[in-house]
Structures are given as structure tokens and as C-alpha cells.
Amino acid sequence: MENKTLIIYNALLTDSSIESSGSLVVKNGKISGVLLGQIKDQESARLAASSLGKLEEPVEFFDAGGLVLMPSFVDMHVHFRYPGQTQKEDLDSGLRAAAAGGFGTVVTMPNTAPVVSSAKLARQIMSEAAEKKLARVFQTVSITKNFGGEDTSEISKLSVEEFPVISEDGREVANSAVMLEGMKAAGKNSIIVACHCEDPYLATAARPYRQRALKFMENYGIPAGKVNATVEGVPDSVNFEIDGCLTAANRLLALAEDAATERNIEVAKTAGCHIHVCHCSTAVSMDAVRRAKALKKAGKTPDGFDCTVEVTPHHIGLAGTDAPYLRALVNPPLRSEEDRTALIAAIKDGTVDVISTDHAPHTQQDKAAGSPGFTGLETSFAVCNTVLVKREGLSLSRLSQLMSENPSKILKLNSGKLAPGFEANLVLVNPDEQWTATPENFYSKGKSTPFEGQKLTGRVHATFFLGQQVYSLKN
């Protein structure tokens, strides 16, 4: 780390416990001082920073322009498609998208080609990512070897310091006995098991309905990757058939999520394991998490058990029971308005721990063929700020807790707060700036988002990783 001092002044400092005009002093990649009070010029900033001790030369100044300076965001759930699927995303495009979205740490999923099933491959990916110096990457290792659903032997070789999270994301471990074995091994090493809760047999039952809908969409030139596309001349009977098939699929997929969430929580209790429920999207599943947390708080669960839960920006921002968002294909699907409001209620009552993007880039050809998932890193803050802060009345401090502090605590990171000694992973935002989501301007290779063309409120202006600026909106 370069030996210098960075002073960021003329900012509105905001984290889970601070909301004040102020400045930050950064040395060797960490916050060395927090100065509260308005400072608008370099000389005043230097003088104030000098009161904390001798400044390491050279001193670099950054005028925040009165914007909000927060800890950069931590995403516990992204897909960078590396290795093997670089037509969808790679480390360069994924990390640049993360920086543009204000993220300083991301947890990448193992559903790549090959599947990341060994510590050796995961270390190689993390080493390559670290060379980019754009954000920290934790690469998850799969629960079972090559997603085969049987061999969990690699888990016992993992250390929590290197591999705080493992996951089979993109699918479920179908065999409950195998899941129990994997969770027991993870529990012994204090490793979190992040679960894509979806009963695979119910998911298989839902697949023909989606495939039938996609066939109709293909025949009538309806693009599966663009929810707001207008296609003339489609008979009402065809639209009725498409939407009916997708509705039938989504009902089965809701049941699949609810059944698997209950199962995985119960298995985690028996195993004495920390389960992290990924992309929770239904009221029923959220209630299961709420009950598990209540039992944990009451001291009625086995030693080692814990339960945390994430929701995504798209599940809190959109309902998917009607057109056009019924046709926005993602797993889990966009749910009903009742489910969406239940997720927001769970954020407000403290059940939800973190917001994660489930950033899932695809090529346009893959989306047209029905690949589920959206790109999400570059719209995450804006969607959450628009929905939770501007509409629902949450404070920016609370949003910072959900997007920065809480995931940092879960991952045991020295970040997520604006305090001396914490890493200088920072994001500068304008929470009042409106902009239109335009996928062709994204750094991510994935251009499919249900927020395309929408006016969002809240924009990332700059991102710092370990004290170094890695993104600027101006450039």
C-alpha cells in the first residue's frame, strides 16, 4: 500500500451510526481519523487533519462536493462466470461493475465451468482478482464436488479465514443426508452455508411451463430478455397462454422455495451450522427465517446454529404476477405484491440481515433462450435507495447497515463503518440524483435488467478501495 495520506473533505459522512458533515483521513488503506463538522477547503482540511497527528507526505485531497460518503457496499451473492463463461462476464468486467456500483467486497458463486469445487481453484481465482486492485473477492467453494450432490469431502479442508462461505448456488443439494453431512463439516470449521433454497423436484415440475411459454415467445418474436419490449400483432390467446404458463411455473417455484427453506433450516439446526438463506423472496420463507431467528434468540437452538437472510433489490422493487414483470425470468421469480411488501416489512422489523444483488449476467442470446437472472451491481444502490429510502422512509444509515455493516460483520471483515482502524473502502453517492438505467452503459457484460429505462434516484459518484479511487462517474 502506497505510503501517503488521503483527506476526503466536504462530505456528509453516513454509516449505521453517523450522519454528519465531516472529513476522513486515510493512511495506508485504512481510516486513521474522522473529523466531524463542515470543512470546505483544502487548507482547513489539512489543519484539521494535523490535529490528529503528523500527516504522511504526500498528502492527497479529495473534495466530496457535499455528497454522501459511506462505507462501500458488500455483496454476499454475485456471479462473475469465471472461469469458463467469459462470454457472460469475466473478472475485469465484473470487478469494474462492482466498483461502478459502489462495492468493495463481493462473494462469488461457484457455478462456473468447471464448478469451483476445490480450495486450489478458488485460491487461483481470488489471486487473479486481487491483482486487479478493484475490490475484494471471496470465492465460494461448492458444497458437493462438481455439483454432483454426493461428495462433501472438500469442506473439511477449508479454513473460515479463506473461505467464510460455501454454496451450491444455482441449484439445491437434493439429498437431505448429504446436506446434513456438508453442514456438519461446515459447522466444525465455522463456515457459513449459503443456500439456494429450491426443491429440485418441484423446480423440475415447473420447467415445462416455462419452456412452453418461451416457445410461444420465440414464435411471436417476443424477447425474453427485455421486459418492456412492445411486439405488435400477438393474439390475446397467445399472451394469455404465455402468462398462464409462467404463472403456473411460478406457483410451483414458490412452493419449491418454501419447502426447501424449511428443510435447510431444520438440517442446519441439527448440524449446528450457520445457514445463510439466499435471495429469500416469499412471505412464507421469510416467516420460516423469522421463527428460526426467534428460537436462536431464545436460546432454543443447538450450539453453532445461526440463521441470516438476504433479499435482492429486484425482489423488493418489483412484483411479478402481471405483465411485463411476469415475463422477467429470474430464479427465484419475481413474486406477488404481498410477498414484496412482506420482504420490506422484514427489512423494517430487522429480520432481513443484508441486501445482495444476485448479480447474474447473461448474453442476450442466453436470455432469449430463457436463462434466468439479471445484472444488478450497477443498479443496486439506486434501486434500494429509491424503494427503501425515498418510498418507504428508511434512513440512509439503515441502508448502510444492510448493504455494508451487516454483511461485513457476517464475513468478519474490518469494514462497513466510518471509524478509525477500519479499511478505507468507501463510496460517494448523491442520494437525490435521478438517472435512467441504461444497460448499454454498464461495465458488466450482462445487459439484461428489469429496471431498463426506469428513472431511479440515487447515484454512485466515486468508489475507493483501500484508500485508492477505483471509480469515478466523471470518467
Backbone angles phi, psi at 315, to 5 degrees: -75, -25
Grid coordinates standing for 164? 467464510
One-character DSSP codes across 427-461: EEEEEEEEEE--GGG-SSS----TTTT-EEEEEEE
CA distance 126 to 137: 6
Grid coordinates standing for 399? 441502508
Grid coordinates standing for 383? 434501486
One-character DSSP codes across 320-373: -SSTTGGG---SSPP--HHHHHHHHHHHHTT---EE---B----HHHHHTT---
The answer for residues whose C-beta is within 8 angstroms of residue 61's C-beta and 6 or more apart is 6, 7, 9, 42, 45, 46
Question: Which residues in 204-325 belong to E strands, given as ranges?
Answer: 274-277, 306-311
Find the helix or strand (DSSP H, E) in which 271 lies: helix 236-271
Burial (CB count <10 Å: 0-12, 13-18, 19+), residue 1: exposed
Question: Which residues in 227-286 belong to E strands, given as ranges?
Answer: 274-277
Backbone angles phi, psi at 359, to 5 degrees: -55, 115
CA distance 223 to 409: 41
If we measure between CA atoms, which residue out of 337, 341, 361, 360 comes closest to residue 349? 341
Grid coordinates standing for 433? 440524483
If we measure between CA atoms, which residue out of 115, 144, 114, 140 comes closest to residue 126? 140
Q: Does residue 92 carry a catalytic annotation?
A: no
- Which one of 75, 358, 366, 432 is the catalytic residue? 358
Grid coordinates standing for 208? 415445462
- List residues bridging with 23 in a β-sheet: 35
How close are the terminal C-alpha atoms of the chain, in Å?
A: 24
Catalytic residues: 358
